A and B are shown apart, each in its own frame.
Chain A
Amino acid sequence: MRAGPSQEEIRRHNLGTLLRHVHLGGPTSRAELTNRMGLNRSTIMALTADLTAAGLVREELPKDTGRAGRPSLVVRPESARVYVLAFDVGVDRVVAARVGLGGAVLDRRETTHARGSFDLADLVATLAGFARQMTRKTRADTVCVGAACAFSGGVRHSDGYVRFAPNMGLEDVPFGEELSKKLAMGLPVAVGNEANLGALAEHTRGIGVGCRDLVYLHGEVGIGGGIIVNGQLMGGMSGYGGEVGHMIVNPGGRPCACGSRGCLEAEVGERALLEHAGRYGEPLGRDGVRAVVEDADAGDIMAQDALHRVGNWLGLGVANLVNIFNPEIVVFGGMLREIYLGSAAQVRSRVNTGSLIASREHLRLRISALGDDATLVGAAELGFSQVLDDPLEVLARLGN
Chain B
Amino acid sequence: MSQAPVLELRGINKSFGPVQVLHDVTFSVYPGEVTALVGDNGAGKSTLVKCIGGIHPYDSGEYLFQGEPVHVSGPRDAAALGVEIVYQDLALCDNLDIVQNMFLGRERKRGLVLDEDTMEEMAAKTLAGLSVRTVKSLRQHVSSLSGGQRQTVAIAKAVLWNSKIVILDEPTAALGVAQTAQVLELVRRLADNGLAVVLISHNMNDVFAVSDRIAALYLGQMAAQVKTSEVTHSQVVELITAGRSGELGLKNGTVA
Q: A337-B181, A338-B181 are in contact. Are A348 and B176 (CB under 8 A)?
A: no
Closest residue on chain B to residue A311 by CB atoms: B205
Closest residue on chain A to residue B185 by CB atoms: A367
Residues on A with C-beta less than 8 A from B230 are 352, 357
Min CB–CB distance A273 → chain B (angstroms): 14
Tell me whether B135 is interfacial, beta carbon within 8 Å: no
Tell me whether B255 is interfacial, beta carbon within 8 Å: no
Q: For the side of the interface on B, what is the size category?
A: 20 to 34
Tell me whether A352 and B205 are in contact (CB under 8 A): no
Interface of B is mostly: helix
Q: How far is the CA of A304 from the CA of B26 in the complex (A)?
A: 34
Of B6-14, B69-77, B93-101, B206-214, the segment with at least 4 beta carbons within 8 Å of chain A is B206-214
Contact of B177 among A290, A345, A346, A360 (CB under 8 A): A290
Within 8 A of A (CB), among B202-239: 203-209, 228-234, 236
Within 8 A of B (CB), among A341-378: 341-349, 351-353, 357, 360-363, 365-367, 369
Contact of A344 among B1, B205, B234 (CB under 8 A): B205
Residues on B with C-beta less than 8 A from A337 are 181
Residues on A with C-beta less than 8 A from B180 are 297, 341
Q: How far is the CA of A367 from the CA of B187 in the complex (A)?
A: 13
Q: How far is the CA of A340 from the CA of B204 in the complex (A)?
A: 12
Min CB–CB distance B160 → chain A (angstroms): 21
Tell me whether B208 and A369 are in contact (CB under 8 A): no
Min CB–CB distance B232 → chain A (angstroms): 4
Residues on A with C-beta less than 8 A from B228 are 348
Contact of B232 among A290, A340, A349, A363 (CB under 8 A): A349
Tell me whether A294 is interfacial, beta carbon within 8 Å: yes
Tell me whether A345 and B204 are in contact (CB under 8 A): yes
Contact of B176 among A294, A362, A363, A367 (CB under 8 A): A294
Q: A297-B177, A362-B1, A366-B188 are in contact. Are A341 and B209 (CB under 8 A)?
A: yes
Tell me whether A353 and B232 are in contact (CB under 8 A): yes
Within 8 A of A (CB), among B152-182: 176-178, 180-181
Tell me whether A341 and B233 are in contact (CB under 8 A): no
Interface of A is mostly: helix
Tell me whether A340 and B209 are in contact (CB under 8 A): yes
Contact of B207 among A345, A347, A365 (CB under 8 A): A345
Residues on B with C-beta less than 8 A from A362 are 1
Q: How far is the CA of A290 from the CA of B203 in the complex (A)?
A: 17
Tell me whether B184 is interfacial, beta carbon within 8 Å: yes
Q: How far is the CA of A362 from the CA of B232 in the complex (A)?
A: 17
Tell me whether A344 and B206 are in contact (CB under 8 A): yes
B203, B208, B228 — which one has the most chain A CB atoms within 10 A of its CB? B208
Tell me whether A341 and B181 are in contact (CB under 8 A): yes
Tell me whether A345 and B229 are in contact (CB under 8 A): no
Residues on A with C-beta less than 8 A from B177 are 290, 293-294, 297, 338, 341-342
Closest residue on chain B to residue A332 by CB atoms: B209
Q: How far is the CA of A369 from the CA of B133 in the complex (A)?
A: 13
B176, B180, B184, B205 — which one has the most chain A CB atoms within 10 A of its CB? B205
Q: How far is the CA of A294 from the CA of B175 in the complex (A)?
A: 10
Tell me whether B229 and A352 are in contact (CB under 8 A): yes
Q: How far is the CA of A136 from the CA of B207 in the complex (A)?
A: 50
Q: How far is the CA of A98 from the CA of B36 in the complex (A)?
A: 43
Tell me whether B176 and A345 are in contact (CB under 8 A): no
Min CB–CB distance B97 → chain A (angstroms): 27
Tell me whether B233 and A349 are in contact (CB under 8 A): yes
Tell me whether A345 and B208 are in contact (CB under 8 A): yes
Min CB–CB distance B241 → chain A (angstroms): 15
Tell me whether A352 and B231 are in contact (CB under 8 A): yes
Q: How does the 8 Å CB contact mask read for A175-203 relative to B, with 1 for contact and 0 for none?
A: 00000000000000000000000000000
Tell me whether A348 and B208 are in contact (CB under 8 A): yes
Q: How far is the CA of A115 from the CA of B236 in the complex (A)?
A: 41
Residues on B with C-beta less than 8 A from A352 are 229-232
Tell me whether B229 and A363 are in contact (CB under 8 A): yes
Min CB–CB distance A363 → chain B (angstroms): 7
Tell me whether B234 and A349 are in contact (CB under 8 A): yes
Residues on A with C-beta less than 8 A from B233 are 345-346, 348-349
Contact of A365 among B176, B185, B209 (CB under 8 A): B209
Min CB–CB distance A43 → chain B (angstroms): 33
Q: A290-B177, A349-B234 are in contact. Are A343 and B205 (CB under 8 A)?
A: yes
Residues on A with C-beta less than 8 A from B1 are 362
Q: How far is the CA of A351 from the CA of B178 in the complex (A)?
A: 25
Closest residue on chain A to residue B204 by CB atoms: A345
Q: How far is the CA of A367 from the CA of B178 in the complex (A)?
A: 12
Q: How far is the CA of A79 from the CA of B87 in the complex (A)?
A: 43
Q: How far is the CA of A363 from the CA of B204 in the complex (A)?
A: 19
* 28 cross-chain CB contacts under 8 A: A290-B178, A294-B176, A294-B177, A297-B180, A297-B203, A338-B181, A341-B177, A341-B180, A341-B181, A343-B205, A344-B205, A344-B209, A345-B208, A345-B233, A347-B208, A348-B208, A348-B209, A349-B208, A349-B233, A352-B230, A352-B231, A352-B232, A360-B229, A362-B1, A365-B209, A367-B184, A367-B185, A369-B185
Task: Report, nearest first, the 4 A-B pairs whose CB atoms are least far apart.
Answer: A344-B209, A349-B232, A345-B233, A348-B208
19 more A-B contacts (CB under 8 A) besides A290-B177, A344-B208? A293-B177, A294-B176, A337-B181, A338-B181, A341-B180, A341-B209, A344-B207, A345-B204, A345-B233, A345-B236, A347-B208, A348-B209, A348-B228, A349-B231, A349-B232, A349-B233, A349-B234, A352-B229, A352-B230
